[in-house]
Chain A
Amino acid sequence: MSDESRNLDRIQRWMQTVICWPSGVEAGIASEEAQSKIPLQSSELDTVITASSQLTSQERLGIYANAYYARLLECLSEEYPALVCAMGKTAFGAFSMEFLQEYPSTSYTLCELGAHFPQFLKETKPATEDGEVNWTDFLIEIAWLERVYSEVFDGPGIERETVLSAETLNSIAPEVWPELRLKMAPCFRLLEFQFPVHEYISNARQGNSPTIPEQQITYLAITRRNFIVRRESISQSEYFLLSKLEQGLKVGDAITQFAESGLMEPDELDVNLHQWFRHWMASGFFIDVCDS
């Protein structure tokens, strides 16, 4: 590396530190991190950045500092609109500032910017003594589901795949079924929440200000059809069975485990299984059957 390019490197590291400094440009310049790149008194800023007749060098640098947080906060707000609604803009802004210190963007795409937001909320959650589910858990669950929506929306889907047709399924002899395994669609997600966050999110995204729901264990099956994310609330029984199938158990073994779970009376089992499988197939939860 030549002397000159080392200079550029120093300027860039210094400028990035200063414009991303959470408490502002002046504190940024004074910070140890910035000083290690370019040792500088605030009053000497003109030796790095020139002033214009209208703005001081510090004001000019400040435009980039403001833009950094404003732009990224706007992106996070667009990815997490329901979380903004639940937390309020001010609290969301404050959390985002902290989040951006902890998880600054390291990717060329903004799609990755908010990836760790649910995890960050979890990490910053104050510890509760009794381990009780509370308001913070509700917020974490909203963030988690909104992130899943983003990933399913832009991730791999089944729009270009041939999904399992009724003919294929009908051609499978009943006695073969127990030995088969089902391959889930790549956009399929099975989730369990402590709150009905899916309803809250839909409501908030429609521009309403929904009230905070009561705690209620909620199971969701999420997938994507025609490039739109679809979510449906399912029963605990469906959740149990789908999660066994998702784990790769043979259909027969999954059903046996379900029967043993005591979640359903044996005489109800047959009717329900039939209906569920028909519905799951129609919803495109599975893309293939395999017998190995």
Chain B
Amino acid sequence: MLKPRLGYDNLGLGVGLRTVHFAHILEHEPEVDWFEIISENFMDSEGRPRSVLEQIAERYPIVMHGVSLSIGSTDPLNRDYLKKLKSLAESVNAHWISDHVCWTGVAGRNTHDLLPIPYNESTLSHLVKRIRIVQEILERPLVLENPSSYLEFKDSTMTESEFVCRMAEEAECGLLLDVNNVYVSSVNHEFDPVKYVEAIPAKRVVQCHLAGHTNCGTHLIDTHNGQVIDPVWELFQLLHQRTGGVSTLLEWDADIPPFPVVHEEVLKAKNYMDEKLHVSEKSFVEKAVANTSSTAIPHPASFITAEVE
């Protein structure tokens, strides 16, 4: 029988590791349960980022989250990348490796964006085949996240939740359910986020992501800034009830506040872990004031700037 979280640990409430917090974490050793790293920022590093990561990995559990696997692309898988991913996982003792249900580029190029794929039988079998290969190379189940998306394809014959569920079952991989992404996409594509979360195979959910987004009036953008809004917390609560609790992590990538503020935000999750609490239907309303700022960038990339004396 399938074990909850595919047998992976529930690490508790974690924070995405960002360069601006390096000094604070090393100096204060905050009581955060675990850290998630952006794999690509560390896999080639022979400088301070890698050294800081090694120090942090001595004290905290580490999970690796990638943005360039491009599992949905029709380009061949990058074996060199996978080898490096595996060796980083070994060296920092990563609990698991995750990436996204998306493609990032084709014809040898990388747009550094998480681009959506059409959801149909042929794309499903394409992904399942590739996930199996990746799992063989990494020698562990891959964990894949539902991305935020801003368009849908005419070629789709199934909903995203149907696609993600079948993909997880058929490829025997894990899921990283980003409840903010579910919410963002539900507004953009006008579906019911509760039904999405209710359809997910609970035991395959290894991890959950929380984040803030930007309301552009006509659509939402997954900017990873600001606080988590109530409707997203309520999706989290529902997921918690369905899974019995999974490792949960807050992503904050733009206008990053001091570490304690980020940590405090993820600790709010405790308020939604009471099994007896009921999800209130009426609060599934976007409350944030429309912000039509054109500077909103989906999941901003984190680039590490050199330190020079």
Q: Quick check: is B295 within 8 A (CB to CB) of the other chain?
A: yes
Distance of A203 Cα from B51 Cα, bound (Å):
27
Q: Which residue of B lies closest to A153 (CB)?
A: B306
Do A13 and B115 have beta carbons less than 8 Å apart? no
Do B308 and A63 have beta carbons less than 8 Å apart? no
* Partner pick for A228 among B44, B112, B153, B308, CB 8 A cutoff: B308
Stretch of A102-110, A209-217, A233-241, A267-275 on the interface side: A102-110
Contact with A along B42-60 (1 / 0, CB 8 A): 0111111101000000000
Known contacts A7-B122, A106-B108, A157-B46; is A63 also within 8 Å of B304 by CB? no
Contacts of B78 in A (CB 8 A): 108
Do B218 and A74 have beta carbons less than 8 Å apart? no
Stretch of A46-54, A166-174, A177-185, A254-262 on the interface side: A46-54
Q: Quick check: is A149 within 8 A (CB to CB) of the other chain?
A: yes
Do A156 and B301 have beta carbons less than 8 Å apart? no
Do B109 and A11 have beta carbons less than 8 Å apart? no
B74 to chain A, nearest CB (A): 4
Q: Which of A37-63 contact B (CB under 8 A)?
A: 46-50, 52-55, 57, 59-61, 63
Q: Report the contact-size class of chain B (Cβ under 8 Å from the partner).
A: 35 or more
Stretch of B99-107, B200-208, B237-245, B271-279 on the interface side: B99-107
Q: Quick check: is B154 within 8 A (CB to CB) of the other chain?
A: yes
Distance of A7 Cα from B154 Cα, bound (Å):
12
Known contacts A64-B150, A110-B112; is A70 also within 8 Å of B297 by CB? yes
Do B151 and A70 have beta carbons less than 8 Å apart? no
Do A9 and B188 have beta carbons less than 8 Å apart? no
Q: Which residue of B lies closest to A73 (CB)?
A: B297
Do B121 and A111 have beta carbons less than 8 Å apart? no
A127 to chain B, nearest CB (A): 31
Q: Which residue of B lies closest to A16 (CB)?
A: B106
Do B47 and A79 have beta carbons less than 8 Å apart? no
Q: Quick check: is B68 within 8 A (CB to CB) of the other chain?
A: yes
Contacts of B150 in A (CB 8 A): 60, 63-64
**Centre residue among A63, A156, A157, A230 by max chain B CB count within 10 A:** A63
Q: Which residue of B lies closest to A66 (CB)?
A: B294
Q: Quick check: is A32 within 8 A (CB to CB) of the other chain?
A: no
Do A49 and B300 have beta carbons less than 8 Å apart? no
Distance of A13 Cα from B75 Cα, bound (Å):
10
* Partner pick for A109 among B68, B117, B190, B306, CB 8 A cutoff: B68
Distance of A48 Cα from B109 Cα, bound (Å):
22
Distance of A68 Cα from B61 Cα, bound (Å):
33
Known contacts A16-B109, A20-B111, A228-B309; is A111 also within 8 Å of B44 by CB? yes
Contact with B along A1-40 (1 / 0, CB 8 A): 0111101110111011001100000000000000000000
Known contacts A71-B300, A78-B305, A157-B47; is A49 also within 8 Å of B122 by CB? no
Q: Quick check: is B123 within 8 A (CB to CB) of the other chain?
A: yes
* Partner pick for B126 among A8, A113, A154, A227, CB 8 A cutoff: A8
**Centre residue among B121, B153, B303 by max chain A CB count within 10 A:** B303
Q: Quick check: is B113 within 8 A (CB to CB) of the other chain?
A: yes
Q: Quick check: is A118 within 8 A (CB to CB) of the other chain?
A: no
Do B151 and A60 have beta carbons less than 8 Å apart? yes
A217 to chain B, nearest CB (A): 21
Known contacts A16-B105, A152-B306, A229-B308; is A109 also within 8 Å of B153 by CB? no
Q: Which of B148-163 contact A (CB under 8 A)?
A: 150-155
Q: Quick check: is A98 within 8 A (CB to CB) of the other chain?
A: no
Q: Quick check: is B307 within 8 A (CB to CB) of the other chain?
A: yes
Distance of A61 Cα from B118 Cα, bound (Å):
14
Q: Quick check: is A67 within 8 A (CB to CB) of the other chain?
A: yes
Q: Quick check: is B221 within 8 A (CB to CB) of the other chain?
A: yes
Contacts of A104 in B (CB 8 A): 109
Distance of A111 Cα from B306 Cα, bound (Å):
11
Contact with B along A222-257 (1 / 0, CB 8 A): 001001111100000000000000000000000000
Contacts of B146 in A (CB 8 A): none
B264 to chain A, nearest CB (A): 27
Q: Which of B116-150 contact A (CB under 8 A)?
A: 117-118, 120-123, 126, 150
The 25 listed contacts between A and B (C-beta, < 8 Å) are: A4-B120, A4-B121, A5-B74, A5-B122, A7-B122, A7-B155, A9-B74, A12-B103, A12-B115, A49-B151, A49-B153, A63-B298, A79-B303, A81-B305, A106-B108, A106-B109, A108-B40, A108-B110, A109-B44, A110-B303, A111-B44, A153-B47, A155-B46, A155-B47, A224-B47
The 6 A-B pairs with the shortest beta carbon distances in the complex, nearest first, are: A4-B122, A153-B306, A227-B48, A108-B68, A60-B151, A9-B74
List 20 additional A-B contacts (Cβ < 8 Å) besides A12-B74, A155-B47: A5-B126, A7-B122, A11-B118, A16-B105, A19-B111, A52-B189, A59-B218, A61-B151, A63-B298, A66-B294, A67-B113, A75-B303, A78-B305, A108-B81, A109-B41, A110-B301, A227-B51, A229-B307, A229-B309, A230-B308
